[in-house]
Amino acid sequence: MKNRISKYLTHLVPAAVAKTFSFLSDHHYSALLLEDRENTEALFVQQITKWIEVVNAVDTCAFEREWSEMA
C-alpha cells in the first residue's frame, strides 16, 4: 500500500512544483514571503510534516484534502 501511495505522490510532484513556481513568481507574494520568511518556513515545515503523517497512515483521501488546502 505504501508503495502505491509513494507512486501516487511521485506523480503529483510536477504539479506541486508548477504551483509553487507560479506562486513564487508572483512578485507581490514573493515580497510578502521575504518579509515574513520565518513564519513562511515554519508553515512549510508544518505542511511537510502533515504530508508525512498522511503517507505513514496510508490515507490518500487525507493527502488530497491537504493538497487542495495548500493549493
- At 1 the pLDDT is 59
Q: If you average pLDDT over residues 2-27, what whole number do you get?
A: 71
DSSP secondary structure letters along 15-43 = HHHHHHHHHHHSHHHHHHHHHTHHHHHHH
pLDDT, tens only, 21-69: 676 666 666 666 666 666 666 777 777 777 777 777 766 677 677 667 6
Domain spans of the chain? 2-70
Tell me the whole-structure pTM to 2 decimals: 0.40
CB 24 within 8 A of CB 33: yes
